[in-house]
A and B are shown apart, each in its own frame.
Chain A
Amino acid sequence: MAELFWPGSVLYFCSCKLASPFTSLYFCRYCVEVRCQLCVYTETDSYFCPNCLENMPSAEAKLKKNRCANCFECPSCGNALSTRATAIAIPSDNPEEKTTAKKVFYLACGFCRWSTRDVAIPDRNNASSGWQEPDNPVSKRMNNLVDFYKKLATKEQQDREKLKLKKKNYIHISASSSFATKTGNLGLIKKRSSLSLMRSLSLNKGNGGIEEEISFSEPAEATEQPSRQDLYTEVVKLEKSSSVSQMLAQPDFQYSQTCDFYPRHKHLIAKRSQRCRQCEHNVVKPEFNPSSTKYKIQFFAINYIPQLQISNVPEFSYQKKSRVTLSLKNPLDYPVNVTLKLARKPDSNITDDVKQDELSEGEEKGTLEEQGKDGIKKAIKRTDSLSEKGLAKTQKIPVDNSGDNETMVDTAEVVLPSTPLLLAAKDDAAEFDENEATTTKYEDDPNVIASRQANKIYFYIDVTPLRTTGDVQFSLLLNYDFKTIPSSVSKVGAKEGQDEPKIETIHLEHQAHLKLGEISQSKQ
Chain B
Amino acid sequence: MQKMAYTQRQSSSSGQSLISKSKPKIGVGSIVCKEAEIRGEVIIGSKTVIHPKARILAVRGPIRIGDGNLIEEQTCIINQGDINDEGDSTVMEIGNNNFFEVGSHCEAIKVGNNNILECKSKVGQQVILGDGCVIGACCELTTNETLPDNTVVFGKDCQRRMQSERPLAQTLQLDFLTKVLPNYHHLQKSSRN
Contact = CB atoms under 8 A, between A and B. Distances in A.
Nearest to B161: A239
A111 B154 contact: yes
A145 interface: no
Given A77-B159, A239-B151, A113 B164 contact: no
Contacts of B154: 77, 111-113
A239 B160 contact: yes
B29 interface: no
Contacts of A352: none
B83 interface: no
A357 interface: no
Interface residues of A, number: 16
Interface in A469-485: none
Contacts of B117: none
A307 interface: no
Contacts of A438: none
Given A238-B160, A239-B151, A243-B159, A117 B165 contact: yes
B191 interface: no
Interface in A361-413: none
Nearest to B152: A113
B182 interface: no
A77 B136 CA distance: 13
A76 interface: yes
Contacts of A115: 164
Contacts of A239: 148, 151, 160-162
Contacts of B155: 77, 111-112
B163 interface: yes
A112 B159 contact: yes
A118 interface: yes
B167 A113 contact: yes
Contacts of A117: 164-165
A114 B136 CA distance: 12
A168 interface: no
15 contacts: A77-B159, A111-B136, A112-B155, A112-B161, A113-B152, A113-B163, A113-B167, A114-B161, A118-B165, A119-B164, A239-B162, A240-B161, A240-B162, A258-B161, A258-B162
Given A76-B161, A114-B161, 6 more contacts: A77-B155, A111-B155, A112-B155, A112-B161, A117-B165, A118-B163
